[in-house]
Amino acid sequence: MNISSIVVKARPENLDAVKVSLTASGLCEIHFSDDLGRIIVTVEGDDNEDETGKLKKIQKLPNIVSADFSYTYTDDGQG
């Protein structure tokens, strides 16, 4: 299983709408946001390809200025 954090950027006036879209998408969990339009979310996936697919879907949501991976953790199940 992989867990990654993504920094999402929205215009401040669209922040609430973007948070609603992110939550409704079912792709991620929101952990932080600020008045500047920055949102920190996490995604989980079976592998890097799964998580990258989720990032690409997030990037296409309405009113998203940018979204990029910040940190990735991989648990290979061997420990």
The pTM for the full model equals 0.92
* Model pLDDT, residue 56: 98
Residue among 53, 45, 52, 35 nearest 74 (CA): 45
Confidence class of residue 76 from pLDDT cuts 50, 70 and 90?
confident
Among the four given CATH numbers 3.30.70.920, 3.30.70.20, 3.40.1160.10, 3.30.360.10, the one describing domain 2-74: 3.30.70.920
pLDDT average, residue stretch 22-35: 98
> What ranges do the domains of the chain cover?
2-74
pLDDT average, residue stretch 11-24: 98
Question: Does 13 score more than 90 pLDDT?
Answer: yes
Kindly report the average pLDDT of the chain as a whole number: 95
